Amino acid sequence: MIKFFRKIRQKMLTENKFSKYLIYAFGEIILVVIGILIALQVNTWNENRKTNKLELQLLESLQEEFTYNKNELDRSIAKAQIIQKRCEVILKNTGNREMKLSEYESDSLINWGLTNIITYDPSNGILNDIISSGKIQIIKNEKLKNFLSNWNGILSDVKEDETWAVNERNTIIFPFLYKNSNYTNITVSPLKKNPITSGFDTDYKAMYKLMEFENLVNGHRIWNVKNEGNYKRLKIKIEEIIALCAEELNLKK
C-alpha cells in the first residue's frame, strides 16, 4: 500500500502536477492520522474492556467476601445476645434474691456465659489485596470505594472494644472465680467420660451473696450489649457494601 502511494506521488512530480501532489500528500497525511487515531481508539477500547472485566471480577469477589462476613457477624450478634441472657439469669439470683439455680445450672451459666467472650473475625484477604495492590482505583463507584477504604478503620474500633472485654474477663473475672468459686467443677463437661472434678466441698451459693460478683456479672453483660451494638452498626456498613456491589454488577452484566 505504501509503495502504491509512493508511485502515485512520483508520477505527479514527473508530470509537474505539484499542486495536485500537495493536495494528495495532505490527504495522505490525514489518512495516516486517522489510521493512528483509530488504532489508539481500538487500543483504548481493549484496555477499557480489560479494566471492566477486572472490575467485574473484583466486585464479585468483594460481594462474596462481605456476604461471608455478614453471616459471621450475624452469628456474633446471636452469641452476644445469648451471653447477655445468661448473665441476666445469674443476676436474678444475686444478693438477697431467692436462689433458684441448681449447682449444675449455675456452673453452666458461669462457664458458658460469664467466662465466654465473643470476637468477630471477618475475612479481609480479598479487600486487603485490592487496597495494597492499588486495584481499588479500578472500582468506579466512589461511594463503594470510600466504604472499602474506611472498612479497616471501622473494624479497628470494633476490635478495640472487644479487646477491652477480653482483658476484663482475663484480669477481673477469671481471678475472681479462681478465688471465690469452685472453678474446677464449673468447667466440668458432662459429655466427658472421665471428667476431672474438684476434691473440695464448696457452697456455690455463697458467691452469689457477694456484691463484687454481681458487679462483674453485670459488667460482662454491659460489654456484650456494647459489642452487640457495634456489630449491628457494622452490619449496616456491610449491607451497604454488598448492595453497592450488587448494583454495580447489575449495571455491568
- pLDDT recorded at residue 2: 46
- Mind listing the pLDDT tens digit for each residue in 76-122? 999 999 999 999 999 999 999 999 999 999 999 999 999 999 999 99
Which residues are within 8 A (CB) of 215 and not within 5 positions of it... i.e. 6 or more apart? none
* Residue 42, all three cell numbers: 481500538
- Mind listing the pLDDT tens digit for each residue in 204-225? 999 999 999 999 999 999 999 9
Which residues are within 8 A (CB) of 62 and not within 5 positions of it... i.e. 6 or more apart? 126, 127, 130, 148, 241, 245
C-alpha 145: how far from its chain's center?
14
Whole-number Å distance between alpha carbons of 180 and 198:
14
Residue with cell 460482662: 220
- Mind listing the pLDDT tens digit for each residue in 128-137? 999 999 999 9
What pTM did the predictor assign? 0.80
Q: Residue 95 in 3-state DSSP? A: coil
- pLDDT recorded at residue 21: 47
Whole-number Å distance between alpha carbons of 252 and 229:
35
Residue with cell 489510521: 35
Whole-number Å distance between alpha carbons of 209 and 93:
9
Whole-number Å distance between alpha carbons of 67 and 172:
36
